[in-house]
Amino acid sequence: MSTAMLAAPFQAEFDANSQEFSFAGVIRPRSVDEIAHSISTFRNAIEEARGVLYINVKRLAQMNNTAFHAFSRVVLDACRARSDIRFVVVTSSVVGWTERMFRHLGKIEPQITVEVYDSKFYPGQSFVEDTSFIPILRTQTKMTWRHERKILPRHGMRPGIVMADICCGIGDFAVLVRKEFQPARIVALDHSKASLAYARDVAKNFGISDIEYSYGDASEMLLEDNQFDLVTCRHSLQIFNQPDLLLKELYRICKPGGRVYITNEKNSHCLGEPRAQSIQWTYNEVAKLFSHFEMDVELGPKSRRYLADAGFDDIRVESFMVTNLDGDPQDFADIITAWENVYAGEMAVKRGDPPEFIERFRQGFRDHIFAALHPKGYAGWPIWAASGRKPL
């Protein structure tokens, strides 16, 4: 057992700019005296606040009744003394007991509302959580795995390691890694209950019982510090609106000397022949479309900078091209069809694009499919794989 968490002090901080008081860590005092300073800070924050005070407990891993009661009393007393202020308690669906415990405060005082934080960091999740997208995620992993299985050992993968696959999606990558490299332990985490249910079902059907699938928020994980030899996070930084925040968490759970491995795209570099111009135009527009929804599908080549800024050293970056020549060209075509459906059929519509734009947008995907299936055609989807070592 790691003792790091047990010894870790909790944090109780006030951000005056956002009028947000945050509790994080493990708060299990023997008496209120032990947390008197935090209680006092909390009281001062309430004194300072005008309008709404947010109470953020998203990263509160544990809080005993002594602490819960003490902080609750401060809020409840404030409600009675200050009719001008509202309290919004922000809980996490991941740390389920916070949702269950804090909800009662709203029953006692109507000035208190309890919200379950979920989607702010996942602008793209609704687009990929549709179960119709699942088969295509399988095909994507199948096509990228042909390349990744060769390059992963250069990024820290080896038998016997303890690894985490963050944003594991439907879990295929974890299953493939398990079979090919035999890690000692795999924790696979995602924030989609539908994807996890699918992953567990597949694992059960294959008789796999040693992958720990967990529902979690990649930007606020329950996982302890310094646990994993290798942390993988594939195709996910690019769909977070704050990739640096996610990298900070990946860094935190990685062991010193261990590595964090990320893959990302640069969609505007998707290519195909024939009909190259039409394909090029559409993928340039894909990048703009994602940018509209606060996602950066051009992140791939920026991986080195992101890893360096997050504090990693020994950064290794390489790229590979998934093509129609990798196995069955129809697999490639199926992926592009799924992209067309989601990007042109849902995202562009949601952005409010006119029909003529959507038609031209669709044409580029169709031309990419044509290139993939043409006997003399070539279609490519470039991916950047990068890893950095957490310094010892």
Specify the stretch interacting with other proteins by CB under 8 A; choose among 89-97, 126-134, 255-263, 384-392: 89-97
Amino acid residing at 171: G
Nearest CB to other proteins, comparing residues 127 and 213: 213
Nearest CB to other proteins, comparing residues 68 and 283: 68
Minimum CB separation of residue 345 from other proteins in Å reads 32
Nearest CB to other proteins, comparing residues 213 and 384: 213
Beta bridge partners of 52: 86
Contact set for other proteins, span 129-188 (CB under 8 A)? 187
Nearest CB to other proteins, comparing residues 13 and 210: 210
One residue of 53, 55, 57, 70 binding other proteins per CB under 8 A: 70
66 binds other proteins (CB under 8 A): yes
- What is the x/- site pattern for other proteins, positions 298-317, by CB under 8 A? --------------------
One residue of 25, 41, 54, 62 binding other proteins per CB under 8 A: 62
Nearest CB to other proteins, comparing residues 163 and 279: 163
392 binds other proteins (CB under 8 A): no
| Cα 172 from Cα 137, distance rounded (Å) | 9
Minimum CB separation of residue 73 from other proteins in Å reads 8
252 binds other proteins (CB under 8 A): no
Contact set for other proteins, span 199-238 (CB under 8 A)? 200, 209, 212-216, 222-223
Nearest CB to other proteins, comparing residues 95 and 262: 95
One residue of 104, 158, 350, 351 binding other proteins per CB under 8 A: 104
Nearest CB to other proteins, comparing residues 61 and 371: 61
Nearest CB to other proteins, comparing residues 72 and 139: 72
Three-state SS letters, the chain: CCCHHHHCCCEEEEECCCCEEEEEEEECCCCHHHHHHHHHHHHHHHHHCCCEEEEEEEEEEEECHHHHHHHHHHHHHHHHHCCCCEEEEEEECCCHHHHHHHHHHHHHCCCEEEEEECCCCCCCHHHHCCHHHHHHHHHHHHHHHHHHHHHHHHHCCCCCCEEEEECCCCCHHHHHHHHHHCCCEEEEEECCHHHHHHHHHHHHHCCCCCEEEEECCCCCCCCCCCCEEEEEEECCHHHCCCHHHHHHHHHHHEEEEEEEEEEEECHHHCEEECCHHHHHHHHHHHHHHHHHCCCCCCCHHHHHHHHHHCCCEEEEEEEEEEECCCCCHHHHHHHHHHHHHHHHHHHHHHHCCCHHHHHHHHHHHHHHHHHHHCCCCEEEEEEEEEEEECCC
Size of the site for other proteins (CB under 8 A): 39
End-to-end CA distance of the chain: 20
105 binds other proteins (CB under 8 A): yes
Specify the stretch interacting with other proteins by CB under 8 A; choose among 57-65, 150-158, 272-280, 381-389: 57-65
43 binds other proteins (CB under 8 A): no
Minimum CB separation of residue 72 from other proteins in Å reads 6
Specify the stretch interacting with other proteins by CB under 8 A; choose among 68-76, 255-263, 275-283, 325-333: 68-76
One residue of 189, 299, 335, 385 binding other proteins per CB under 8 A: 189
Minimum CB separation of residue 47 from other proteins in Å reads 21
Minimum CB separation of residue 319 from other proteins in Å reads 33
Minimum CB separation of residue 22 from other proteins in Å reads 18
Question: Long-range contact list for 246-249, CB < 8 A, 24+ apart?
Answer: 246/121, 246/218, 246/219, 247/306, 247/307, 247/309, 247/310, 248/310, 249/166, 249/218, 249/219, 249/220, 249/221
Say if CB 216 and CB 222 are below 8 A apart.
yes
| Cα 130 from Cα 3, distance rounded (Å) | 40
Instruction: Please report, as ranges, the residues that interact with other proteins according to CB under 8 A.
Output: 1, 5-6, 26, 28, 30, 32, 61-62, 64-66, 68-70, 72-73, 76, 94-97, 100-101, 104-105, 107-108, 187, 189, 200, 209, 212-216, 222-223
